Amino acid sequence: MCAQRLVLWFQALLISLQWGVVFADAETDYNQTCAACHSLGVAGAPRIGDAGAWKDRIARGNDALFKNAINGYTGESGVMPPKGGFNDLSDDQVREIVIYMVSRSLDE
């Protein structure tokens, strides 16, 4: 029974690698991509954890946040390329990263 599970696990791993699926959560994705700008505030990026920088953005709602993160943004407060320049991210991954970033940047 254990050997069968191990074989199935390896098969799933090989399939996921073949299709380019990466098993990662939003925090890992953030750290591997978005943190490059959002941890330092590069090009006006709101820093994760800075509630003041996120306040107006959060007030516009998730749909606006998702749209800007997926499609890119150019405005008075900064510039962001679509998906932060990481076009291999799916739209769902970008949404999950945005939710993670917002959750880490709320007033407490």
Q: Read off the amino acid at residue 18.
A: Q
| Per-residue pLDDT, 7 | 53
Q: Which CATH superfamily is domain 21-103 in?
A: Cytochrome c-like domain (1.10.760.10)
pLDDT tens, the chain, 108 aa long: 555 554 555 555 555 554 444 445 899 999 999 999 999 999 999 999 999 999 999 999 999 999 999 999 998 888 999 999 999 999 999 999 999 999 999 875
DSSP secondary structure string, 65-79? HHHHHHH-EEETTEE
CA-wise closest residue to 21 among 89, 94, 99, 87: 89
CA distance 69 to 44: 14
Question: Which pLDDT belongs to residue 8?
Answer: 52
